[in-house]
Structure 1
């Protein structure tokens, strides 16, 4: 990790920005950074309205390592969605990295992040034990894929096939076929999960989105955990060095490194990482915005999405599961994308309020 940082910065003695949530990955990235280069460092932390406030813990970490903390307060997480989508050119709504990079450009041309820790070193502990309870060594690859998807309750809904209109051609078989290779092999069960995680959101969501934002804001990204050496190392060690089944603890090796840097005592047992409270976001802004844009949406008019599915859940306020909120916000992002790039009736400068 130190080699990755040194190779990217070289002899440049300019200021460096780092995204600091206070979690294992970002704290480790900061610890390594402070240990290997003398540059001035400033941290960027995000405080989302009506969400768990990660900034006090991040402030303690920044103080111990002698760096300045910049706190970005975001009242309405969805306000600048048109601008963010116009940059990444993809219909995603969960774009916290937009706020990080927007602030980073005013601090430095370098942005350090702890990307990759979850996927490479077993950070998604909330799904591992569930997966192991659903499958065994005799489960066939398709059964493992279906169980894997059941552990992603935030990302799909039971009636997902009803969301899509006639033009989409949605099929669960297509989804299963994409995932089968990660479970049709001789790897241990948890290593299969880690393989699927790495080849899923990391490669096809986080990295493409973040890379585009870095380019737009003129930033040079430094992700020490995602160096070639770290990827090679992480993919060739047993999962037992990453995840403890008994204590349900992940990122074992990364935590040991934090202890080496004497930073482990500041790490929360709660998973951190710029998380917005989706239910509160829905109640404060999401529901009204979805009603405004989805009740007469272009994605329905052009037969990509079914209005009947939207109608079932849009006003189901009291007991609406978070997975359905995520799907509705995903449709909002798709509608914004459609109006930006297909009908071209929306300006990127539009503020959702």
Structure 2
């Protein structure tokens, strides 16, 4: 796990850019406290790197260059199957001087170019340069676990692991992108390759970009798992999934430094902790965060159950309101962009605890998006089942979840009555894309909360079109496949951005063993009726691991999703004062994003736990930190 910088140009002396490179590297120092490296390819490129040493600690320094100085690589992440790839390359006569995965990737790229991406299993972003032609290849892993941003800065093209590093270049300044702002207000993340910063983009997951000098040639997808359903009724899906889960963990446990796990007490983190503990010679450190404000904010009983079950070494932290006020601005700065919900705060505190004991942490991120774990999928399918009965409409054909099969599973919705009322308040029985957009749209009630100027310019049709381009892209009629595809390509990268930044801000490497592209390829080929049988969330996963974990964990109906007691903290005290001072300041109101009376009402009556107010708070802090330059 590391941080990278590259500056590309065409026949331009970059000697006077060395101080710029130094400033950029300083902004990502936290990503790699173990080592720093720089390389200057005259009249072509500058490369910078910060290293967090995980594999072959004494070797693998970057930027890595070939003996003849033709090729240069800066790389962030891990190539999990580097051992197998190294054996393959040795058979082809290629020699190695280290045991690092960086050298394996480097030699593979020299040998195969962009085709190397077809061989790699890992989390990664990298820039690979050929000085003979001044051409380069920039790529990002299948899911976007590792970040990679780029921007045209005058006559330079700049790549970096974090946006704050790009902003050190004198030819670009922090400006808000207006359409991205509308996407953020709608989804609380940006779609496609957009960021909240004008003129700064991200390489999309599963894609690579090629170019020459400071010019981009093309952007291509190297992995787009399809939904070609395997109709072989004799297939043992559970056995195949079990094998891949075990093998993914075998690969991701490769490390020359101590490893631990995040342990929330839910299925995904419990599964990861179980599999990791089976591969550890000593009790595995497991880290849990909770709050002392009540049982609804405390899942520690479940976490302790798994720690005991796996003979894990259990660690716990309980952040408070003072921690929230003190840490949130720093956290938004670490993230580069405001993202997701308040659960990012306890995740950061838990990561800080973990960093005192381990250098690599394993988490369960991706389970909901791959295996259909969100309750909203059940809500969406309840409407589809009713629609099928009332209208006789079988949009999915044999894939449709029936009303008879879904009824026994509806008890989990009792805590979601507000969402149900909202979902069914309008648009009943419309098309799948319209209904799912309505279900996830966080801008509902825009007219009452947005400043009049922004509301008038809000292009909802364009936002919906952005959504449709992704939702309707896969070659499937299945609703569950369309919903999970959208979430895997939008929400998941946003959550992984948090995963990366939270870990890197305290200099630990975060790995996500459920996000192995082979697992996703398998799940996408399984008939939807089997993996979401009767509207049962994570049906296939639960069935496959039923003998691995205690039934208390497998059959949980009360998973919390790292709730934060902001509602209680907003009644009075330091958090309420902090939120009010932030959102009702002159600078905040003069941005003309939110209506003042609406903000006052949300502070007084809803509490910051409401997603809209959380989004407003993080957005204002982002403006202060990046746009205002504070």
Compute the TM-score of the two structures, normalised by the length of structure 1.
0.84
Deviation, structure 1 residue 115: 0.7
Report the equivalent of 1:32: 275
Report the equivalent of 1:261: 548
Report the equivalent of 2:432: 144
Q: Is the 2:253–2:276 Cα contact (8 Å) retained in structure 1?
A: no
- CA-to-partner distance for each residue in 1:96-115, whole Å, 9 max, x for gaps? 32122212211111100011
Closer/same/farther in 2, CA of residues 170 and 31 from structure 1, 3 Å limit:
same
Q: What's the secondary structure of 2:356's corresponding residue?
A: coil
Report the equivalent of 2:612: 327
Residue-pair matches, total: 336
- 5+ residue gaps in structure 2? 1-244, 388-392, 396-426
Closer/same/farther in 2, CA of residues 250 and 133 from structure 1, 3 Å limit:
same
- Residue 434 of structure 2 is aligned to residue 191 of structure 1: no
Deviation, structure 1 residue 146: 3.0
Q: Write the distance in 1 (CA, Å) between the matches of 2:268 and 2:298.
A: 18
Q: What's the secondary structure of 2:432's corresponding residue?
A: helix
Structure 2 residue corresponding to 1:313, chosen from 579, 598, 602 = 602
Q: Write the distance in 1 (CA, Å) between the matches of 2:497 and 2:280.
A: 28
Structure 1 residue corresponding to 2:366, chosen from 116, 120, 139 = 116
Q: Write the distance in 1 (CA, Å) between the matches of 2:508 and 2:255.
A: 17
Structure 1 residue corresponding to 2:627, chosen from 334, 339, 342 = 342
Q: Is the 2:288–2:300 Cα contact (8 Å) retained in structure 1?
A: yes
Deviation, structure 1 residue 231: 1.9
Q: Write the distance in 1 (CA, Å) between the matches of 2:338 and 2:447.
A: 17
Specify which structure has the higher proportion of helix: 1
Closer/same/farther in 2, CA of residues 161 and 85 from structure 1, 3 Å limit:
same
Report the equivalent of 1:237: 526
- Residue 254 of structure 2 is aligned to residue 18 of structure 1: no
Specify which structure has the higher proportion of strand: 2
Q: Write the distance in 2 (CA, Å) between the matches of 1:160 and 1:110.
A: 46
Report the equivalent of 2:177: none
- Residue 514 of structure 2 is aligned to residue 225 of structure 1: yes
Deviation, structure 1 residue 195: 1.4
Q: Write the distance in 2 (CA, Å) between the matches of 1:209 and 1:174.
A: 27
Say which is worse superposed, 274-283 or 104-113, in terms of deviation. Answer: 274-283
Closer/same/farther in 2, CA of residues 164 and 287 from structure 1, 3 Å limit:
same
- Residue 615 of structure 2 is aligned to residue 290 of structure 1: no
Say which is worse superposed, 92-101 or 157-166, in terms of deviation. Answer: 157-166
- Residue 305 of structure 2 is aligned to residue 60 of structure 1: yes
Q: Is the 2:290–2:299 Cα contact (8 Å) retained in structure 1?
A: yes
Report the equivalent of 2:284: 41
- 5+ residue gaps in structure 1? 346-353
Q: Write the distance in 2 (CA, Å) between the matches of 1:189 and 1:266.
A: 28
Closer/same/farther in 2, CA of residues 27 and 340 from structure 1, 3 Å limit:
same
Q: Write the distance in 2 (CA, Å) between the matches of 1:328 and 1:193.
A: 26
Closer/same/farther in 2, CA of residues 278 and 195 from structure 1, 3 Å limit:
farther
Q: Write the distance in 2 (CA, Å) between the matches of 1:149 and 1:309.
A: 24
Q: What's the secondary structure of 2:260's corresponding residue?
A: strand
Q: What's the secondary structure of 1:174's corresponding residue?
A: helix
Q: Is the 1:15–1:41 Cα contact (8 Å) retained in structure 2?
A: no
Q: What's the secondary structure of 1:38's corresponding residue?
A: coil
- CA-to-partner distance for each residue in 1:79-127, whole Å, 9 max, x for gaps? 2101111111112352132122212211111100011110000101244
Q: What's the secondary structure of 2:594's corresponding residue?
A: coil
**Bigger RCO of structures 1 and 2 (CA < 8 A, at least 6 apart):** 1
Report the equivalent of 1:78: 324
- CA-to-partner distance for each residue in 1:207-227, whole Å, 9 max, x for gaps? 112112222322222211101
Deviation, structure 1 residue 262: 4.2
Q: Is the 1:279–1:322 Cα contact (8 Å) retained in structure 2?
A: yes
Closer/same/farther in 2, CA of residues 305 and 266 from structure 1, 3 Å limit:
closer
Deviation, structure 1 residue 161: 7.8
Q: Is the 2:261–2:285 Cα contact (8 Å) retained in structure 1?
A: yes
User: Cα RMSD (Å) of the superposition?
Assistant: 2.9
Structure 2 residue corresponding to 1:200, chosen from 458, 467, 490 = 490
1:93-132 aligned at under 5 Å gives the runs: 94=342, 95=344, 96-132=346-382
Q: What's the secondary structure of 1:233's corresponding residue?
A: helix
Structure with bigger gyration radius = 2
Q: What's the secondary structure of 1:111's corresponding residue?
A: strand
Q: Write the distance in 2 (CA, Å) between the matches of 1:309 and 1:52.
A: 28
Q: What's the secondary structure of 1:18's corresponding residue?
A: strand
Q: Is the 1:17–1:43 Cα contact (8 Å) retained in structure 2?
A: yes
- CA-to-partner distance for each residue in 1:130-174, whole Å, 9 max, x for gaps? 454166656999842331133337x34323685256468432223
Q: Write the distance in 2 (CA, Å) between the matches of 1:31 and 1:163.
A: 46
Q: Write the distance in 2 (CA, Å) between the matches of 1:165 and 1:42.
A: 52
